[in-house]
């Protein structure tokens, strides 16, 4: 510290003599990462099946049995969206996040075949990690991947320098504890194990993911993310820490340190746990004096679990994941970058998960590919409050490989509906149109033949433009 103060003192004298601006010292003083503000660090925390209404700033928190002061504080220091959209299932949402492309594109073959929704992404896709790595970033993932579990398709083959976490869905934690599990029933029916690897390596399999392990896992992921941040803090290299946590995907089991802590049940315990873990990461950035030069994002891949009687809360929105309704598609989104993104701002302008790829590319100095269709749009000017309008007006709605409808501004068209309890698809003679301002729960379709016939035109145009774009998309040239 003494040497650092002496260096700063000498630099101040030199700058005064030369007549240079004092802020130049911030880019040349010792201290590693903090001295260069050209490329921000990025910490992205992504929840699993986490509804819109869970945290305090979105109407949850104490209402849900557990205050969320750390996440709420993150929102107070940054921006939060009330209209952030994702896809209806885990894998396509994560595919959109990683590629800036709707999941349907990432599964398409050159022959026009659309692979199963759980396929993930091909090796050909350029991921967020690959884009940031090319821009000079160190990249680490600590958590659930769920975008490919075969040779060449793990995170360390898709742009990440290191990984500790899960390759597949966390509901497999039920299997080891099931009395009906038959080990040799099918070659694909094997226990999921926690995996780890460095860039280019084949992942090493660790402990079996059972319910006991899952209860401990988010603590481990948080600790490893913190260790990663600490290791990178002294470096001149900016870093991307991707932290896709495994709660609140069922089974929901709090860590022993939090089990019973709220006296409001398992989900409230996990909510308190999650807020504490977010606080641990934020505290690490503060302690290492990295907060001012770090973009922090908190969001989710989907709304609450779609299984009837499951945990989770979607706030004012209808239904949960696996559905075409807002409770499936609209989730929390909070982003903080001190001095760049104005604090305390919120908006109901539309943003989509696919927008994060081009937006972070713009913020980090990365390049986006020009040899494929990119669905994402750069939201940086909107987030910086240079404009109060999002550059996005539309959202496409898929469940599996079926196009269910689209959103345009505050309107939604559904070509088919779904029963909230049975999840049976209802084919209709005429699509439903909803005004999401007037009817946020999508309870009564507009009587458009009486007063809103005009809305058919922009909504159908959105669908037609997307389908034409998909038809022109050549698909991935490789597996």
Q: Which residues are known to be catalytic? A: 90, 146
Q: Look up tokens 């975008």; give the residue.
A: 147
Asked if 305 and 250 count as a contact pair (C-beta separation under 8 A), the reply is yes
Asked if 476 and 454 count as a contact pair (C-beta separation under 8 A), the reply is no
Whether omega for the bond prior to residue 251 falls within 30 degrees of 0, making it cis, is yes
Asked if 353 and 86 count as a contact pair (C-beta separation under 8 A), the reply is yes
Rounded Cα distance between 239 and 228, Å, is 9
Q: What is the DSSP letter of 408?
A: E
> What's the token pair of residue 398?
């898929």
Q: Where are the beta strands (DSSP E) in 203-324?
A: 204-208, 239-244, 294-300
What's the burial of 421, exposed, middle or buried (CB within 10 Å: 0-12/13-18/19+)? exposed
- Region of 353 on the Ramachandran plot (φ > 0 left; ψ -120 to 50 alpha; else beta): alpha
Residues 6+ apart with CB under 8 A from 350: 83, 85, 390, 392, 393, 394, 395, 407, 409
Backbone φ and ψ of 428, nearest 5°: -125, 155
Whole-angstrom CA distances from 29 to 6, 19, 22, 476 are: 11, 18, 12, 46
Whole-angstrom CA distances from 7 to 16, 21, 263, 285, 292 are: 14, 17, 53, 24, 22
């Amino acid at each position: 510290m003494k040497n650092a103060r002496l260096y700063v003192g000498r630099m101040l004298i030199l700058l005064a003599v030369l007549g240079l601006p004092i802020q130049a010292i911030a880019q040349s003083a010792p201290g590693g990462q903090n001295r260069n503000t050209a490329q921000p660090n990025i910490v992205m925390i992504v929840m699993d099946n986490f509804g819109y209404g869970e945290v305090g700033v979105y109407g949850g928190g104490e209402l849900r049995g557990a205050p969320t002061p750390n996440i709420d504080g993150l929102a107070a220091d940054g921006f939060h969206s009330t209209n952030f959209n994702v896809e209806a299932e885990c894998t396509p949402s994560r595919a959109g996040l990683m590629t800036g492309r709707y999941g349907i594109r990432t599964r398409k073959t050159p022959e026009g075949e659309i692979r199963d929704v759980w396929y993930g992404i091909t090796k050909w896709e350029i991921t967020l990690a690959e884009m940031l790595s090319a821009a000079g970033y160190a990249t680490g993932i600590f958590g659930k991947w769920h975008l490919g579990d075969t040779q060449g398709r793990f995170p360390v083959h898709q742009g990440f320098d290191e990984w500790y976490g899960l390759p597949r869905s966390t509901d497999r934690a039920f299997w080891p504890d099931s009395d009906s599990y038959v080990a040799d029933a099918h070659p694909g029916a094997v226990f999921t194990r926690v995996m780890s690897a460095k860039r280019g390596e084949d992942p090493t399999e660790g402990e079996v993911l059972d319910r006991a392990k899952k209860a401990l896992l988010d603590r481990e992921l948080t600790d490893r993310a913190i260790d990663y941040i600490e290791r990178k803090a002294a470096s001149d290299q900016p870093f991307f820490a991707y932290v896709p946590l495994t709660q609140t995907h069922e089974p929901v089991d709090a860590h022993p340190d939090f089990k019973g802590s709220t006296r409001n049940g398992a989900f409230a315990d996990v909510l308190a746990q999650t807020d504490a873990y977010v606080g641990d990461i934020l505290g690490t950035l503060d302690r290492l004096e990295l907060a001012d030069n770090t973009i922090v994002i908190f969001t989710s891949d989907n709304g609450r679990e779609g299984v009837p009687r499951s945990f989770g809360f979607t706030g004012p929105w209808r239904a949960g994941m696996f559905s075409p309704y807002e409770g499936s598609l609209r989730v929390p989104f909070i982003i903080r970058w001190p001095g760049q993104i104005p604090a305390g701002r919120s908006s109901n302008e539309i943003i989509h998960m696919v927008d994060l790829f081009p937006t972070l590319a713009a913020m980090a100095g990365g390049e986006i590919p020009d040899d494929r269709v990119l669905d994402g749009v750069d939201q940086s000017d909107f987030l910086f409050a240079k404009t109060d309008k999002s550059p996005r007006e539309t959202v496409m709605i898929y469940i599996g490989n079926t196009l269910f409808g689209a959103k345009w501004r505050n309107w939604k068209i559904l070509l088919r509906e779904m029963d909230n309890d049975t999840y049976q698809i209802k084919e209709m003679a005429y699509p439903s149109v909803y005004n999401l301002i007037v009817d946020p729960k999508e309870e009564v379709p507009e009587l458009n033949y009486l007063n809103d016939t005009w809305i058919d035109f922009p909504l159908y145009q959105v669908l037609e433009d997307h389908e034409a774009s998909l038809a022109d998309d050549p698909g991935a040239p490789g597996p």
